[in-house]
């Protein structure tokens, strides 16, 4: 999953992280839900039957841990909504004593999915008593206007959607967006227990709030539609922050995606230039005002 280090132990050169190919929307969602089983085959001399049996065993174990992680995720969200403390003992009760040895992996899967979908980061606040809390890590105003105090934040899902758009060349087709959402269990026309009607969320709610731009692809026949960043997305986050989310899903670092990383760096430079240009007139006006006051005082 994570970026690998090239080179062996021979020589004195420093191994470098190899660039990764830009993942597809399906890759991102699948990676987040549990990764791939590729590369788990045994030695060549292992019999076909033994290899198949081992693969089935690994698959069953993986599916079971994913289910347990979903149970822990539901528990975390329930405690977040109710504003109740999250303890390790309570989470162990959720998964059962039989899976106690797998608790670190289960908790890791659950916390990563909570972070992806809701932008909530799990933090341990009391190491001696193993007490945790969920903290909203994205400063987006997507929750503004909500009358429901118990509504879960949507900023995590929004950041992931912005990431898909950035990854696809700053415009993602509707099919690419749904490919990502479907793997997460979010389907058009099927009301989601947390996000409500998904199509309304991404084509109306987030569009009206200015986070997404949903438009017909020019000259498409039959008509096709695509998503772009909206003006509020550009104002409240950056391509680098979004790339950090994508990299975390892939368990690597932003620089592992050279093209996206270079574009994110250019975006930072452009933003810095715009901020500097915006401050210049104000600074000039303040300087002129100071000089005028000084001149006036000297002639009194």
Q: Where are the domains of the chain?
A: 22-36+56-137
Please say if the pLDDT value at position 273 is more than 80.
Answer: yes
- Rounded CA gap, 48 and 122, in Å? 42
The residue behind tokens 């498409």 is 220
DSSP H or E stretch at residue 167: helix 155-167
Mean pLDDT of 261-282: 82
Burial of 260 (C-beta count, 10 Å sphere; 0-12/13-18/19+): buried
CB contact at 8 A, 34 and 283: no
Give CB contacts under 8 A, 24+ apart, made by 102-106: 102/65, 102/68, 105/65, 106/65, 106/68, 106/69, 106/72
Q: What whole-number distance in Å separates Cα of residue 168 and Cα of residue 59?
A: 31
For residue 142, name the pLDDT band (cuts at 50, 70, 90): low
pLDDT of residue 238: 94
* Helix (H) and strand (E) counts in the chain: 11, 6
The sign of the torsion formed by the CA atoms of 111, 206, 265, 168 equals: positive
Q: Are 132 and 88 in contact (CB under 8 A)?
A: yes
Q: What is the mean pLDDT of residues 27-54?
A: 56
CATH fold group of domain 22-36+56-137: Arc Repressor Mutant, subunit A (1.10.10)
Q: What is the pLDDT of residue 259?
A: 95
The model's confidence at residue 35, banded by pLDDT at 50, 70 and 90, is low
What is the average per-residue pLDDT within 119-139?
Answer: 90
Confidence of residue 195 (pLDDT cuts 50, 70, 90): confident
Which of 21-35, 48-62, 216-230, 281-295 is the least confident region? 281-295
pLDDT band, residue 15 (cuts 50/70/90): very low
pLDDT value at position 171?
96
Is residue 60 helix, strand or coil? helix
Percent of the chain with pLDDT over 90: 47
Question: How far apart, in whole angstroms, are the C-alpha atoms of residue 117 and residue 153?
Answer: 9
> Which one has a higher pLDDT value, 270 or 297?
270
pLDDT for residue 89 = 95
For the segment 78-107, the average pLDDT, to the nearest whole number, is 93
pLDDT at residue 123, as a whole number: 94
What confidence tens digit (pLDDT) does each residue in 223-236 have?
999 999 999 999 99
> What is the average pLDDT score of the chain?
80
pLDDT at residue number 87? 96
């Amino acid at each position: 999953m994570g970026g690998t280090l090239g080179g062996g132990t021979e020589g004195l050169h420093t191994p470098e992280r190899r660039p990764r190919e830009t993942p597809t929307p399906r890759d991102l969602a699948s990676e987040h839900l549990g990764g791939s089983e590729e590369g788990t085959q045994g030695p060549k001399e292992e019999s076909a039957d033994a290899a198949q049996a081992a693969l089935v065993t690994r698959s069953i174990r993986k599916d079971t841990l994913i289910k347990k992680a979903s149970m822990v995720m539901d528990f975390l969200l329930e405690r977040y909504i109710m504003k109740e403390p999250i303890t390790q003992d309570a989470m162990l009760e959720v998964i059962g004593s039989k899976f106690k040895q797998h608790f670190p992996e289960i908790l890791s899967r659950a916390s990563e999915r909570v972070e992806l979908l809701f932008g909530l980061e799990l933090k341990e606040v009391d190491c001696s008593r193993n007490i945790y809390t969920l903290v909203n890590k994205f400063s987006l105003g997507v929750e503004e206007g909500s009358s429901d105090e118990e509504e879960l934040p949507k900023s995590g899902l929004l950041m992931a959607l912005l990431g898909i758009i950035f990854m696809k060349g700053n415009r993602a087709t509707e099919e690419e967006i749904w490919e990502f959402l479907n793997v997460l269990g979010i389907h058009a026309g099927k009301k989601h227990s947390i996000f409500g009607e998904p199509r309304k969320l991404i084509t109306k709610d987030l569009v009206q709030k200015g986070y997404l731009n949903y438009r017909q692809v020019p000259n498409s026949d039959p008509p096709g539609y695509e998503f772009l960043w909206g003006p509020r997305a550009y104002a409240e986050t950056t391509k680098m922050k979004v790339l950090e989310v994508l990299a975390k899903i892939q368990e690597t670092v932003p620089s592992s995606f050279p093209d996206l990383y270079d574009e994110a760096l250019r975006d930072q430079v452009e933003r810095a230039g715009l901020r500097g240009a915006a401050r210049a007139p104000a600074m000039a006006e303040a300087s002129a005002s100071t000089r005028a006051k000084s001149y006036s005082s000297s002639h009194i």
